[in-house]
Structure 1
């Protein structure tokens, strides 16, 4: 029998996409096809059987001319003649890491199984799940690929379950969540990279031979990288082109790579970073990888983005907040920093209420003896001298002004100068032999220890129970060093990073279950942990500590490439901007902030009467079109990207189009802005001028862009959909 003969073909279909998997006569599981949905029962056996023979490759399983290295494997292992990067590495008690995975059986499940301990997507619409068991008969290892097809969303997810069915322990050194072999290298690699204050910039480079990609070894997904990767055909733009993409639902060390082999094939892999990762698998024990969301789009980045947005709103975010309008907030941080008292806070809150703002957020400095960033993290007891009374009394007074109340916490960290650290120095990440490293005057609490998790749950639960708190800003301002846990055995220290995340997810899951009404915005020194794992518990995330409107254009475009705009915390701040010193007008700052979740972070009391009136108008207009701005279909519009940014939000009866001109240029004539994604035959009425346009006109002829006489100028159009 030809070992490359496809004995079984399994087609996993969504409304418009298809993932086809084949079982070979050799027992190997291969990717036959991933792309646009094909006619029912299209025979794909020839994809494997017609592969030309490649030279200088080893034979497989003693079969002449059977070259495993050129096959598109679904989950490659180490030790076989496939010498490309494996998806899994396991070492047995003999010291051998060789495994040879062969297909055993497949199960079709209605819906989707739970993923205990990890954030994961939930079922909406029609979902079908396939489980493919792969077995190594020598080690007693079973690897199960759990693949779900979300039919209505054109999205697939995968997690991998690794089980030790032997009588001796195994050590798991690597287990990727996804491995896709594509029989081409004609792609651009797309990742989201940057640094603190310039997170999630879109990076796009042509693939080259060898390995390329992005990863984090910081204990968090990180400012400099995001657990997302895409392969786009070179002609791809916002409206056209094919894209294969993947986003890991995980908040820690990850790796996302594309490897081009010597035969111009590309292996795309996403999962937990094998750096400093080990997992002890005793007999009968299992390990589940984080879930990865992956998709195929054939109409450019807008189609890809819109599928992720819709899917995450319906199938990832906490259900009670996913479609709930978000309040307009004022955060006191850039208005006061640590220098505040009760009188100043109440005056700021009163002014916010008069301007129509809905939520007051008290940031850092309200607890312990904290007048700067050098003390008191971990001591989550209100400083009543500074607050002029109890936290509960302050909360009551602010809510009496018609505002909701929010509070900043940083529960994963502890200051050396704190009661908590003095009582429990063994609760921090440290081996007690080396001096632990400080960052921002703080240590990382060891959330892999259940006693630390229990402390945080008790403390935060008490804070939320004893005070009327509507919103938490959950910060994390440093990454993990000294990765050692006193709660783990010597041979389990390679589990520290992952167990930290499991502990964090346990704390978040417990708090959100006990206090489902509290809206949590997560933060990690800005966007240092803006990932799908956190969004499963916190429906919005502070996008960046950089609030400059121009810088935010790039940050927010990259973030919105996969994450819904309503999840992005976006604030109007003072000028000159506190991060870069740039001056932009209030209208532009508002327009950019309204691309995400609108808030304010400036001293309202220091504004002129004119500026207060402008903010009041911004708030009033935002409330009138809030659903469209927060939940409308987001589309990037085609413009000269060297000097212009433009996007639209469509839904809830309106179309809102925003355009930003970066640099004013002399003696130039702006070109029309063409809208995308409207119904050609529908009529749209300009709310300001009352003029009506057909969708065909707006898409083919476009809107007149004003000639600007200042830098960083914004222009907005609002259209009402007419039936």
Structure 2
């Protein structure tokens, strides 16, 4: 008997010793380390986040820093509410007995090598008093220097619990000072960049719009460590949330001047009721640390997106001609047939039919009716979409079409038949945004309906080549007839319902290119872009404004994900300037070609051919932002292919001042020992280059240290220079 008691005691001692034994967990890329460590209390703390140390054993010297912190100041990896956490928590829950405290302790972790570049680390934390567990996930992409973090929350309590905080990530930074760059705006003036210092207290960037969540502020940010974020120097943290809904970033500087960064779904009106056995999965927070400024950080994110996140990220993109600026809602088959011929003349891949093709009882003659009734308007298109697909094929181009399947007009047959499918208050006056309401995608029946909109189009038209998926209204009149007593789940379950629909579409039509549109840049996130090949940056297609908009989006997205169209906006700008701006991204036209002068038509046709020849340099190359439109009356951007054999330099004179001192533009990303022939391309018919460096050869060293005189004193001038290695 004594021997048995001794064995039990020995087992207890062994278990206890394992429990309190310190665990150090390294989450690493080729350049960055995030180091976590358990303390004597069994909880998990962040030990380090920064440039990777050459000698990994030296991280052991940091443990003294962890022990020296008072409990309330400790950098807990996933801090919870109700304990000694003095600052904003990552997690908060109310248990079945009303208790609002949880203490999460380390249980175990696993490290899985997905391939030679990708590693996944999963850390299990549990509460010892309540049956609640949290898994912390970290996926690292070594070459791209990207870390993706998210959590899974679950419980086995008798009844549902309410979680009111559920961050995807909590990071701690330690520096002398911090500067935050945010991206804000509104319809037609998206991603305006502004930078401000972060001082003691909290700064919150969030969205409460539901569907069109990025309308006022974008779900990405940059933090400069020690100085304002610079393009080519200094340490920056660049982060974004992969979530097509309400988001929140909290930046909190504490009394010791440490910065906490909490990222995740906005818990506003979303105290989520979670059933036992169900898993609440947060969206991924994606971040990179760059010690060479935002330029390198952007290249990290762009390369990662092409390789791992963006739908068909390594594949080509379709050029197109859209009808909207030419016809609006006023079109018929002959008009569209003629535009398809124009598309063929331009040399683009596809003709895209925009809004206005559907509805019979309530024909879509304006934005006041018809949404939800996805039947072709017989008076406009008596032979239906199949005839359009066939006409496009006969013209020698592909055919794409616009849809807005998440929305409904009050004047529609769908609303008359299924008012219970709509998010709206049952007992209050309705508010309409763009004369429409939002379908309740938390409802599986509505999910089936939205999927069937696409499935019916594709089944009847297997050669349909492209979908432009629009979403023009935020969630208003917030109430779900389906969720009943779980209204606080709506904002989150809506997005999850959308993803379920998109998962089904992607599974059945994996090769279907789709544009993510939301009244312009109302949806610009990597959660959506796992299903979409590209996004519509803005309804503002003024090329001057687009230079700023594209500069902002390029901080986080590759050029092939950003759609830019040549339109009639800003008549002061030449067709060449407008086209040169759009050619930096995924090129399209939304312009009445017949209204252009013959030489302008010829230029557009030649520009499409030039674009097709060089677009892979943009799509797959490394981007270098050289001159910012925020800091100059000019701007310049270049792309260099991975082999450093070819490059494209885009330069724009916006509104230079009289007698302005024009400085050479120093290039980047070239091989210093190689020599490059410089040639101006995309010229107007009958003109020749007037730039002094045209058709001359320079070393990469010269081009990066001395530069080229590419700017002029003229307003709205543009140049595209192609560089090709000659050795």
Normalised by the size of structure 2, how large is the TM-score? Answer: 0.91
Partner of 1:237: 230
- 1:192-247 deviations in Å (ceiling 9; x for gaps): 21111111122211111111131100003322111112211215411101011221
> Does structure 2 retain, via aligned residues, the 8 Å contact 1:185–1:260?
no
Whether 1:627 and 2:642 are equivalent positions in the alignment is no
Partner of 2:687: none
Shift of residue 610, structure 1, vs aligned partner: 1.7
Q: 1:36 aligns with which of 33, 39, 51?
A: 51
Q: 1:649 aligns with which of 639, 647, 650?
A: 639
Equivalent positions of 1:665-680 (< 5 A) are: 665-680=657-672
> Does structure 2 retain, via aligned residues, the 8 Å contact 1:331–1:360?
yes
1:333–1:568 Cα change, 3 Å? same
> Does structure 1 retain, via aligned residues, the 8 Å contact 2:634–2:711?
no
Q: 2:534 aligns with which of 535, 540, 545?
A: 540
Shift of residue 292, structure 1, vs aligned partner: 1.2
Shift of residue 389, structure 1, vs aligned partner: 2.3
Q: 1:99 aligns with which of 87, 98, 102?
A: 102
Shift of residue 357, structure 1, vs aligned partner: 1.9
1:391–1:73 Cα change, 3 Å? same
Taking the aligned partners of 1:236 and 1:333, their CA distance within structure 2 comes to: 39
Q: 1:663 aligns with which of 655, 658, 670?
A: 655
Partner of 1:57: none
Q: 2:40 aligns with which of 2, 21, 25?
A: 25
Equivalent positions of 1:352-367 (< 5 A) are: 352-367=343-358
Taking the aligned partners of 2:434 and 2:332, their CA distance within structure 1 comes to: 24
Whether 1:718 and 2:722 are equivalent positions in the alignment is yes
Taking the aligned partners of 1:704 and 1:272, their CA distance within structure 2 comes to: 47
Partner of 2:26: 11
Whether 1:513 and 2:507 are equivalent positions in the alignment is yes
> Does structure 2 retain, via aligned residues, the 8 Å contact 1:6–1:49?
no
Whether 1:80 and 2:83 are equivalent positions in the alignment is yes
Taking the aligned partners of 1:718 and 1:388, their CA distance within structure 2 comes to: 48
Taking the aligned partners of 1:363 and 1:286, their CA distance within structure 2 comes to: 39
Taking the aligned partners of 2:176 and 2:201, their CA distance within structure 1 comes to: 11
Whether 1:465 and 2:459 are equivalent positions in the alignment is yes
Taking the aligned partners of 1:465 and 1:39, their CA distance within structure 2 comes to: 57
> Does structure 1 retain, via aligned residues, the 8 Å contact 2:187–2:519?
yes
Whether 1:692 and 2:692 are equivalent positions in the alignment is no
Taking the aligned partners of 2:39 and 2:542, their CA distance within structure 1 comes to: 55
Query: Deviation above 4 Å: which 4+ runs of structure 1?
Result: none
> Does structure 2 retain, via aligned residues, the 8 Å contact 1:407–1:471?
yes
Residue aligned with 1:634, SS: strand
> Does structure 2 retain, via aligned residues, the 8 Å contact 1:329–1:359?
yes
1:326–1:46 Cα change, 3 Å? same
Equivalent positions of 1:264-279 (< 5 A) are: 264-279=257-272
Taking the aligned partners of 1:485 and 1:28, their CA distance within structure 2 comes to: 39
Taking the aligned partners of 2:572 and 2:62, their CA distance within structure 1 comes to: 58
> Does structure 2 retain, via aligned residues, the 8 Å contact 1:213–1:229?
no
> Does structure 1 retain, via aligned residues, the 8 Å contact 2:191–2:217?
yes
> Does structure 2 retain, via aligned residues, the 8 Å contact 1:346–1:398?
yes
Residue aligned with 1:455, SS: helix
Taking the aligned partners of 2:572 and 2:42, their CA distance within structure 1 comes to: 64
Equivalent positions of 1:202-351 (< 5 A) are: 202-220=193-211, 221-233=213-225, 234=227, 236-318=229-311, 321-351=312-342
Partner of 1:704: 709
Residue aligned with 2:297, SS: helix
1:564–1:69 Cα change, 3 Å? same
Partner of 1:67: 70
> Does structure 2 retain, via aligned residues, the 8 Å contact 1:523–1:542?
yes
Taking the aligned partners of 2:712 and 2:238, their CA distance within structure 1 comes to: 38
> Does structure 2 retain, via aligned residues, the 8 Å contact 1:125–1:152?
no
- 1:509-556 deviations in Å (ceiling 9; x for gaps): 111221223210010000001111111000101110000011111111
Partner of 2:686: none
Shift of residue 168, structure 1, vs aligned partner: 4.2
**Uncovered stretches (5+) of structure 1, i.e. residues with no partner:** 54-65, 112-123
Shift of residue 669, structure 1, vs aligned partner: 4.0
1:495–1:253 Cα change, 3 Å? same
> Does structure 1 retain, via aligned residues, the 8 Å contact 2:178–2:199?
no
Partner of 1:474: 469
Q: How many residues align?
A: 687
> Does structure 1 retain, via aligned residues, the 8 Å contact 2:653–2:711?
no
Q: CA RMSD in A?
A: 1.9
Shift of residue 185, structure 1, vs aligned partner: 5.5
Normalised by the size of structure 1, how large is the TM-score? Answer: 0.92
1:271–1:239 Cα change, 3 Å? same
Taking the aligned partners of 1:242 and 1:48, their CA distance within structure 2 comes to: 24
Taking the aligned partners of 1:100 and 1:178, their CA distance within structure 2 comes to: 17
Partner of 2:439: 445
Taking the aligned partners of 2:621 and 2:216, their CA distance within structure 1 comes to: 29
> Does structure 2 retain, via aligned residues, the 8 Å contact 1:180–1:269?
yes
Taking the aligned partners of 2:533 and 2:276, their CA distance within structure 1 comes to: 38
Shift of residue 281, structure 1, vs aligned partner: 2.5
> Does structure 2 retain, via aligned residues, the 8 Å contact 1:308–1:563?
yes
Q: Which stretch shifts more, 172-181 or 183-192?
A: 183-192
Partner of 1:595: 584
Taking the aligned partners of 1:444 and 1:224, their CA distance within structure 2 comes to: 19
Q: Which stretch shifts more, 248-257 or 201-210?
A: 201-210
Shift of residue 636, structure 1, vs aligned partner: 0.3
Shift of residue 170, structure 1, vs aligned partner: 1.7
Residue aligned with 2:50, SS: strand
Residue aligned with 2:58, SS: coil
Taking the aligned partners of 1:666 and 1:41, their CA distance within structure 2 comes to: 57
Q: Which stretch shifts more, 524-533 or 645-654?
A: 645-654
Taking the aligned partners of 1:541 and 1:415, their CA distance within structure 2 comes to: 24
Taking the aligned partners of 1:479 and 1:571, their CA distance within structure 2 comes to: 25
Shift of residue 573, structure 1, vs aligned partner: 0.5
Equivalent positions of 1:360-439 (< 5 A) are: 360-368=351-359, 369-439=363-433
Residue aligned with 1:532, SS: coil
Q: 1:614 aligns with which of 583, 586, 603?
A: 603
Taking the aligned partners of 1:444 and 1:717, their CA distance within structure 2 comes to: 46
Residue aligned with 2:489, SS: helix
Q: 2:92 aligns with which of 89, 92, 103?
A: 89
Taking the aligned partners of 1:469 and 1:413, their CA distance within structure 2 comes to: 22
Residue aligned with 2:167, SS: strand
